[in-house]
Amino acid sequence: MSKKTRVVIADDQYVARGFFEMYVKMSADYELVASFSSAEQAVDYCRREGADLVIMDVMMKQGLDGLTCAETIKNNDPSIRIILATSTAEYKWIDKAKEAGIESFWFKEYDESSLLEVMDRTMKGESVYPGSRPDPMLGDASKSSLTERELEVLRELTTNRSNEEIAEKYNISLFTVKRHIQNMLNKTGYSNRLELAVNAKALGLVVHDDDRTGNRG
């Protein structure tokens, strides 16, 4: 009889955590050894007890975020394989996850592959990342219709940064910031920057690093 893969789950959303647990329990190849509502609890458990596979959400309402904690787990024990997951459409985390040595990345709402498929492939030694980026709609525009600079400005808008603060961060003129915002308003059909920012944040179209790491002050 082959040894089951020991799985640790970390997700602060009760329903999502239950969904992950169901996927683990439905397969004879996996054993759920721990399930937590914070990423830091998973780090502590893996340090004490070890694990074969960790499934962890990127965003956490309390404590350190999943990306940061996944990197800590890998640093503590590189043999532990990790799948990072998110329900947002923020794809800039993919490069950060790869740089941290995280094996796989799964979009809950947008990935064509099932979680179980990603789990199986990850445990077979594959690094499973999405073949395409999520492309949800923001008003009348798809995410792909926004330029990378517009998306950068939009991330700042979701944290209520002023035009002056955005201009200083990216070393661009105030006029350029206003032009990017107006271009996004024209594309999406929203009437003002507040409406644009609120909808982008509600949809999870982009997520500022301050919101991921909890640095909202």
Residue 174: give its domain's CATH number. Answer: 3.40.50.2300
Query: Residues 99, 182: one domain?
Result: no
Last residue of a domain, one of 123, 156, 177: 123
Q: What whole-number distance in Å separates Cα of residue 129 and Cα of residue 115? A: 12
pLDDT value, residue 215: 61
Q: What pLDDT is stored for residue 79 in this prediction? A: 97
Report pLDDT for 123: 97
Neighbouring residues of 106: CB distance < 8 A, sequence distance ≥ 6? 83, 84, 85, 86, 113, 115, 118, 128, 130
pLDDT in tens, 82-101: 999 999 999 999 999 999 99
Confidence of residue 113 (pLDDT cuts 50, 70, 90): confident
SS3 34: strand
Mean pLDDT in the chain?
94
Which tokens in the block code for residue 25? 């329990």
In the predicted structure, residue 216 carries a pLDDT above the cut 60: no
Q: Assess whether pLDDT exceeds 60 at residue 63.
A: yes
DSSP 8-state class, residue 109: T
Burial of 154 (0-12, 13-18, 19+ CB in 10 A): buried
Domain contains 129:
no
Task: Please tell me whether residues 11 and 57 are part of one structural domain.
Answer: yes
**pLDDT of the residue at 21:** 96
Confidence of residue 61 (pLDDT cuts 50, 70, 90): confident
Residue-level pLDDT at 1: 47
The answer on 48 and 78 residing in a single domain is yes
Nearest to 66 by CA among 17, 4, 119: 17
The residue that leads in pLDDT, 2 or 117, is 117
Between vectors from CA 45 to CA 42 and to CA 48, what angle results, nearest 5°?
A: 150
pLDDT, mean of residues 150-155:
98
Kindly give the pairing relationship between strand 30-36 and strand 5-10.
parallel
Instruction: For residue range 180-208, list pLDDT tens digits in order.
Output: 999 999 999 999 999 999 999 999 999 99
pTM metric for this prediction: 0.89
In a domain, 132, yes or no: no
Domain that holds residue 183: 137-213
Shared domain check, 25 and 117: yes
Identify whether 90 is part of a domain.
yes
29-38, 65-74, 109-118: segment of lowest average pLDDT: 109-118
When pLDDT is cut at 50, 70 and 90, the band that residue 62 belongs to is confident
